Amino acid sequence: MSKTTNNYQNFIKTNTSRFKGQWIVLFGKKIVAHGKQADVIYERALKKYPAQKISLAKIPAESTLVLWLSLNTKKN
């Protein structure tokens, strides 16, 4: 069985409700950056932490998530 990363395990256990609507960057048990734009906070975190050791998650703003998505092949 493949192992999931420490970041994943910590994300599952961490209460992230105070970051609703934001991206977070995880480094082990720590949330080392958060904000509205994934690219901005990831690049900021990369200045202090190696890419192989950090991960990203988006915390939903709403309690209801999209339950289905249908790809409409019609172009604009």
Partner 1 sequence: MVKFEYKKELDRNGEAVYRPIADVWFKSSTNNWVELHPYIDSGADITLVPYSFGKLLGFRKIFAPREKIGGIGGKMDVICVKSEIKIGDKIIKATIGWAQSENVPALLGRSEIFDEFEVSFKQREKQILFS
Please tell me whether residue 76 binds partner 1 under the rule CB under 8 A: yes
Please tell me whether residue 50 binds partner 1 under the rule CB under 8 A: no
Whole-angstrom distance, CA of residue 7 vs CA of residue 26: 6
**Cα–Cα separations (whole angstroms), residue 34 to 26, 49, 64, 68:** 9, 14, 22, 27
DSSP state, 28? T
Output the smallest distance, CB 65 to partner 1, in A: 6
Binding mask 8-47 for partner 1 (x = CB under 8 A): x--xx---xx-----x------------xxxxx-xx----
* Strand (E) or helix (H) holding 58: strand 55-58
Residues in touch with partner 1 (CB under 8 A): 1-2, 4-5, 7-8, 11-12, 16-17, 23, 36-40, 42-43, 51-52, 54-58, 60-76
